[in-house]
């Protein structure tokens, strides 16, 4: 733990949140640009995000490498955020440790889904996706819950973590409906994209807010 704290004293953990978001968004949009050069029908209503992982024109390489590079930066940021919250709410240490464990599983899930794309091994890809998003659901809810317990923590920032979690539940429900009834086929696709961008927004908001609090301290 001393080594981890010493590391964060030298390099602010909020920077890793910024880097993770920058890499994720840059590689996603670059993948889309490469994809639509071959298939201009691509849209947020017709293609799931994971389809970029098997896309044409090297869009798959950019997408999967982007995930593999960004995921460790996310983990480093989540650990920093968790330790920051522990310092502000020591009584919540146990539940925050659960969030930190979830952050590790989040990394593992992302690596699995990036290495094993839909075409290579669909089962492993789906397992990786379930692990990644399930772990994100846990850590985001826990972080938001603890932030709401801290009296001087910005309430809007605290509540924001629940939004992608709600979308994730809705996304899962719609996927089941799509599988069994084939109704609203575009809706789960669009919600998945919304969920991704809101997740990126949540990480960015957290990183900015914690960075500003660090500067005050």
Which residues have C-beta within 8 Å of that of residue 42, sequence separation ≥ 6? Answer: 32, 35, 36
pLDDT reading at 22 higher than 80: yes
> pLDDT tens-digit profile of 102-137?
999 999 999 999 988 777 787 888 899 889 989 999
Q: Kindly give the residue spans of alpha helices, DSSP state H, lying in the chain.
A: 2-10, 14-38, 59-88, 93-115, 122-149, 155-160, 162-181, 186-216
User: CB–CB of 157/205 below 8 Å?
Assistant: yes
pLDDT for position 217: 62
11 DSSP assignment: S
Q: What's the whole-number mean pLDDT along residues 170-185?
A: 76
- Which residue matches tokens 């994209």? 193
Residue 183 or residue 155, greater confidence: 155
**Residue 51, SS3 per DSSP:** helix
pLDDT reading at 24 higher than 70: yes
- Which residue matches tokens 């464990």? 101
């Amino acid at each position: 733990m001393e080594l981890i704290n010493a590391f964060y004293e030298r390099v602010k953990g909020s920077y890793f949140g910024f880097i993770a978001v920058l890499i994720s968004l840059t590689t996603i949009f670059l993948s889309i640009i490469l994809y639509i050069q071959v298939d201009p029908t691509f849209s947020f209503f017709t293609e799931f995000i994971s389809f970029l992982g098997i896309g044409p024109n090297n869009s798959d390489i950019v997408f999967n490498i982007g995930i593999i590079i960004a995921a460790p930066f996310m983990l480093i940021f989540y650990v920093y955020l968790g330790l920051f919250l522990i310092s502000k709410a020591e009584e919540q240490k146990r539940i925050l440790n659960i969030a930190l464990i979830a952050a590790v599983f989040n990394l593992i899930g992302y690596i699995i889904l990036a290495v094993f794309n839909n075409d290579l091994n669909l089962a492993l890809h789906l397992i990786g996706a379930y692990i990644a998003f399930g772990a994100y659901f846990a850590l985001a809810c826990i972080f938001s819950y603890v932030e709401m317990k801290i009296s001087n923590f910005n309430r809007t920032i605290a509540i924001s973590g629940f939004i992608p979690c709600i979308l994730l539940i809705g996304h899962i429900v719609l996927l089941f409906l799509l599988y069994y009834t084939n109704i609203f086929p575009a809706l789960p696709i669009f919600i998945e994209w919304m969920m991704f961008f809101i997740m990126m927004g949540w990480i960015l908001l957290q990183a900015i807010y914690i960075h500003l609090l660090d500067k005050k301290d």
